[in-house]
Structure 1
Amino acid sequence: MSVVSLLGVNILNNPAKFTDNYVFEITFECLEQLEKDLEWKLTYVGSATSDQYDQELDSLLVGPIPVGVNKFIFEADAPKTTRIPDADILGVTVVLLTCSYDGREFVRVGYYVNNEYESDELNADPPAKPIVEKIRRNVLADKPRVTRFAIKWDSEASAPPEFPPEQPEADLQADDEEYGAEELEDDAEEEEGAAAENAGESSAAAATADGDAEMAGVEENGEPAEEDEMSEEGSVDLENESEDELEEEVEGEVVEGGDDAMDVDEKPTAESKSHEVMAH
């Protein structure tokens, strides 16, 4: 639980000129007496590409802090344009309001800031060198981004829990009570079962191999199958057929079919084409 809670922030001069100071009205609540002061800072982000252009506009120490609701005014200088790239002066950027206790940041509020010229003519055609005196800033105060951090305040009880927590009793456990011992035993039993199963499969495979060998021996020593030999009576001697008989058969097909039969064979029908397309 945070000892200091931010209740609200009001920007008193918004919109304003780019060269005007930032003026914030800050309200917060303190739940117990603090030994040290609160440090508030305002940071301007000069460029989105590098943090080397960030500027700390101002910082303020507030204290001693009475218990209850407190309100004060925080005024910070405008950013120095000499430390901002010309290309990043116009457009959208960010300002960060932070608060720390004893060097430990516990709250951060971010605001978007839009910088543009006061006239539409300059916005439509901005000059190469920005005219800072004619630039106006507008802080989007209604859409802040608030981030809170748990820190240690004055007492150890307020310190956030460490992660992972210390477990000194874990070093005092006996070896047989070591975490994961049951899991190791289960793994050993599974490995033994797997080894026994593999041994059974090996013996079964060996027995099957012996049986196959015996069957192979029976086939080799027994009578050959009739299907393995072709009888001379069933064989066809193509060489004994005369060329005259083959020619007569071919001529008979051509005469019976005629030219129409040849045309049908050479030009497949639409149905046959469709079957070929589906097959591909």
Structure 2
Amino acid sequence: MAKVHISNVKVLDNPAQFLNPFQFEITFQCDSDLTEDLEWKIIYVGSAESEDFDQTLDSVLVGPVSAGTHMFVFQADPPDPTTIPAGDALGVTVVLITCSFRNQEFVRVGYYVNNEYLDPEMKETPPMQPQWDQVTRNILASNPRVTRFNIDWEENSENNENKPPPSDIPNQSQQHGNMAAGMMANPVLGKVEGLAALTWFKCRQ
């Protein structure tokens, strides 16, 4: 049984300019004390055609985590526009929030993202080269897709990070690709490390 459950995610600063940071307020419940860190990531899917264009915008380690309810704001820089294919600059894509324990991903939350020009002329006749400072990003916050994976939570097991995944669970690359591809096929519109802007605190009762 999972020891950590995401109870709420709020998308902050949305809609926003494409070049603005991503901001998510994440609330999660921990059923028992964890002596090791949780690793959180924000991943931007640059193209539906290939995972080669996926960008990990940031990753943070949070822990040790005590039993109870916790909340933090996860902020990450926008994707590097120079690595996004011009044909995928506008339209619908996906942003993923993932969480792992002892190198095992156990949950991911996916959101559709629509990138478009607000200027009517640019929307009617987009420039050959994307003008990123004119692009608006709109995350479909009301319709997240949550996927959970079974992992080994026992902290006394050795070399867990070197164990292959169970045969009935695809590896992380397959998990990532399958979820992103599935979403794109049906588009609809205390220690903290790795991010100075991250705030983390235990919710007061």
Question: Normalized against structure 2, the TM-score is what?
Answer: 0.75
Aligned to 2:147: 147
Q: Report the CA distance between 1:156 and its aligned residue.
A: 6.9
User: SS of the counterpart of 1:122?
Assistant: helix
Unaligned runs of 5+ in 2: 161-165, 169-205
Aligned to 1:95: 95
| 1:205-220 correspondence to structure 2 within 5 Å | none
Aligned to 2:116: 116
Instruction: Tell me, in whole angstroms, the C-alpha distance in 2 between the residues paired with 1:75 and 1:154.
Output: 30
8 Å Cα contact 2:37-2:63 kept in structure 1:
yes
- Matching residue's letter, 1:118: L
Instruction: Tell me, in whole angstroms, the C-alpha distance in 1 between the residues paired with 2:74 and 2:59.
Output: 9
User: SS of the counterpart of 1:52?
Assistant: helix
8 Å Cα contact 1:9-1:24 kept in structure 2:
yes
User: SS of the counterpart of 2:88?
Assistant: helix
Aligned to 1:65: 65
Instruction: Tell me, in whole angstroms, the C-alpha distance in 2 between the residues paired with 1:12 and 1:139.
Output: 10
Which structure: larger Rg?
A: 1
Percent of paired sites with the same residue: 52
State the Cα deviation string for residues 130-183 of structure 1 (Å, max 9, x = none): 1111000000010000001111112579x9xx779xxxxxxxxxxxxxxxxxxx
Unaligned runs of 5+ in 1: 165-280
**What CA RMSD, in Å, does the superposition of the two structures yield over aligned residues?**
1.8
Q: Which has the higher helix share?
A: 1
Q: Report the CA distance between 1:112 and its aligned residue.
A: 0.4
Higher relative contact order (CA 8 A, sep 6+): 2
State the Cα deviation string for residues 97-120 of structure 1 (Å, max 9, x = none): 000000000000000000000212
List structure 1 runs of 4+ shifted beyond 2 angstroms: 154-157
Q: Which has the higher strand share?
A: 2
Change in CA separation of 1:163 and 1:49 when aligned onto 2, cut-off 3 Å: closer
Aligned to 1:27: 27
- Matching residue's letter, 1:61: L
Change in CA separation of 1:163 and 1:53 when aligned onto 2, cut-off 3 Å: closer
| 1:29-178 correspondence to structure 2 within 5 Å | 29-155=29-155
